[in-house]
């Protein structure tokens, strides 16, 4: 009996020992987990953060004279961040405004904090921009430089603090002139005359442009004049500061060297299933996308304003050459058959993308339908001269299924007319879009 008891007690003690050892091992494992894994993980993350990404301005403070436009230098190490676009904002838009390319405009005396953040919001950097009166900055900077070489500490501080800020609104524009009195253009050709406003110290040298007949030639805010249809008209530039001052250029638009084989109807270049472009047609372009320059600058304006509304637009497809379109279409035919391919892809020569006036923005698929970007685009594209080229319910007229991402540049006036009257180019011009065979 006692033996059995002892045996039982020994068993119990041994069981307790085994249990204790088991607990100890678990405890050690938990400790190892917390000490090693838990501690190392954040350190590794932090290292990746520091080494992989960083965003900073070159300095903490930036001095600028009133009326100046300059680009802020920013250092962005993007690591493996996919969307490298930056969003800029100003603490006081009435003092310093900033666009999404980092260009600042010094609008009034004072200071504002400009903040840059990457699109995902992970990184941000700030810089204080101080707007000085005209001439004040250069004299302050010269004095500072002299002070540094002679007596470093004492004089530097007095310069910046004692200079009174006086706004000299007296310097007005006194004359305005254009480099040309006459310009000859072909339809769709662009030319920009140079403007000289005097005195050079005038505060507000901004320009306002207008055309006496927009059916003959149009002009944008920068003075790019484009021929629309044969005829003659007058383009005028006016000083915003002094609207009594203006200068004009006589514009003659001829149809003599119209690109052979390109169809213009009422000044609109038509490219659809009935009206192809010649094999060798290439748009006038100086941008990386091969887009018509006016179309591209209108797109940039739109993208920037969209960004202000929290809408991010990007180019998925812009200019496509005849040969690119040819292989694209052949691929679709091989995979989906010609009948299906013809509803969403153009045959070579029949694509609007060859005109340099069409852009596919964001996602080129039905997933784009109904997104905030698609809705914004449908509501605002016309304000920048674009139309949704292949709207919903009009595929019998346009020849293509609904494509909310495909926008076509036609100019603000035409785009607004088409938008307000819910018209396609085909309906507006009374034409069809059908392949001949
Ligand atoms: Zn397209």
Mean pLDDT of 397-407: 96
In the predicted model, is pLDDT for residue 212 greater than 90?
Answer: yes
Long-range contacts (CB closer than 8 Å, 24 or more residues apart) made by 20-29:
none
Buried b (16+ CB within 10 A) or exposed e, 305-333: bbbeeebbbeeebbbbbbeebbebbeebb
Mean pLDDT of 131-151: 50
Which one is catalytic: 207, 352, 403, 426?
A: 403
Whole-number mean pLDDT of the chain?
A: 82
DSSP letter (8 states) at residue 91 = S
Q: How far is the CA of 346 from the centre of ligand 1 (A)?
A: 9
Q: Per-residue pLDDT tens for 284-343?
A: 899 999 999 999 999 999 999 999 999 999 999 999 999 999 999 999 999 999 999 999
Q: Are 389 and 405 in contact (CB under 8 A)?
A: no
Domain formed by 263-429, architecture: 2-Layer Sandwich (3.30)
pLDDT category of residue 23 using cuts at 50, 70 and 90:
low
Give the range with max mean pLDDT: 8-22, 165-179, 281-295. Answer: 281-295
**Residues in Cβ contact with 119 at an 8 Å cutoff, skipping those fewer than 6 apart:** 83, 84, 85, 86, 87, 312
Q: How far is the CA of 364 from the centre of ligand 1 (A)?
A: 8
Q: How far is the CA of 68 from the centre of ligand 1 (A)?
A: 39
In the predicted model, is pLDDT for residue 227 greater than 80?
Answer: yes
Q: How far is the CA of 363 from the centre of ligand 1 (A)?
A: 11
DSSP letter (8 states) at residue 37 = I
56-132 folds as Immunoglobulin-like (2.60.40)
Q: How far is the CA of 408 from the centre of ligand 1 (A)?
A: 9
In the predicted model, is pLDDT for residue 256 greater than 80?
Answer: no
Domain boundaries, the chain: 2-52, 56-132, 134-162, 175-254, 263-429
What angle do helix axes 136-149 and 152-162 make, rounded to 10 degrees? Answer: 170
Domains 56-132 and 175-254 share a fold: yes
Q: Per-residue pLDDT tens for 88-99?
A: 888 888 888 888
**What proportion of the chain, given as a percentage, has pLDDT over 70?**
77
Mean pLDDT of 36-65: 59
DSSP letter (8 states) at residue 33 = I
CATH of 175-254, picked from 2.60.40.1080, 3.20.20.20, 3.30.70.600, 3.20.20.60, is 2.60.40.1080
CA separation for the pair 204, 239 (Å, rounded): 8
**E strands in 5-83:** 54-57, 61-65, 69-71, 74-77
Beta-ladder partners of 225: 191, 219
* Known active-site residue 403: yes
By the CB criterion, residues less than 5 angstroms from ion ligand 1 are 360, 406
pLDDT category of residue 427 using cuts at 50, 70 and 90:
very high
DSSP codes, 386-433 = EEEEE-TT-HHHHSS--EEEEEEE--HHHHHHHHHTT--HHHHHT---
pLDDT category of residue 48 using cuts at 50, 70 and 90:
very low
CA separation for the pair 181, 28 (Å, rounded): 89
């Amino acid at each position: 009996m006692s033996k059995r008891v002892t045996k039982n007690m020994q068993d119990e003690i041994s069981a307790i020992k085994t249990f204790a050892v088991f607990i100890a091992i678990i405890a050690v494992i938990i400790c190892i987990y917390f000490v090693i894994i838990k501690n190392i993980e954040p350190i590794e993350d932090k290292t990746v953060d520091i080494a992989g990404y960083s965003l900073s301005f070159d300095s903490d403070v930036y001095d600028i004279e009133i009326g100046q436009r300059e680009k802020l230098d920013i250092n962005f190490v993007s690591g493996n961040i996919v969307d490298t676009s930056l969003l800029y904002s100003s603490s006081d838009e009435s003092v310093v405004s900033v666009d999404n390319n980092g260009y600042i405009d010094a609008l009034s005396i004072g200071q504002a904090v400009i903040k840059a953040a990457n699109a995902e919001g992970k990184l941000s950097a700030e810089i204080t921009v101080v707007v000085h009166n005209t001439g004040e900055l250069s004299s302050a900077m010269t004095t500072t430089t002299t002070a540094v070489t002679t007596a470093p500490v004492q004089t530097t501080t007095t310069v910046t603090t004692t200079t009174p800020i006086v706004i000299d609104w007296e310097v007005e524009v006194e004359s305005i002139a254009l480099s040309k009195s006459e310009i000859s253009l072909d339809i769709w050709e662009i030319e920009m005359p140079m403007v000289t406003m005097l005195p050079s110290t005038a505060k507000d040298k901004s320009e306002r442009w207008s055309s006496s007949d927009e059916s003959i030639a149009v002009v944008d805010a920068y003075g790019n004049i484009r021929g629309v249809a044969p005829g003659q008209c007058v383009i005028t530039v006016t000083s915003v500061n002094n609207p009594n001052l203006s200068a004009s250029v006589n514009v003659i638009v001829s149809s003599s060297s119209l690109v052979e084989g390109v169809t213009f109807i009422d000044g609109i270049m038509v490219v659809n299933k009935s009206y192809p472009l010649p094999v060798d047609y290439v748009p006038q372009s100086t941008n990386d996308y091969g887009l018509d320059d006016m179309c591209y600058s209108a797109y940039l304006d739109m993208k920037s304003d969209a960004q202000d509304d929290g809408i991010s637009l990007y180019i998925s497809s812009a200019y496509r050459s005849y040969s690119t379109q040819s292989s694209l279409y052949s691929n679709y035919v091989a995979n989906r058959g010609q009948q299906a391919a013809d509803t969403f892809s153009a045959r070579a020569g029949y694509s609007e993308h060859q005109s340099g006036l069409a852009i596919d923005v964001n996602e080129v698929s039905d997933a784009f339908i109904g997104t905030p970007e698609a809705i914004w685009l449908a509501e605002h594209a016309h304000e920048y001269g674009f139309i949704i080229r292949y709207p919903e319910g009009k595929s019998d007229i346009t020849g293509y299924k609904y494509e909310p991402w495909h926008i076509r540049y036609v100019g603000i006036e035409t785009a607004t007319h088409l938008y307000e009257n819910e018209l396609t180019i085909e309906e507006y011009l009374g034409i069809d879009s059908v392949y001949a065979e």
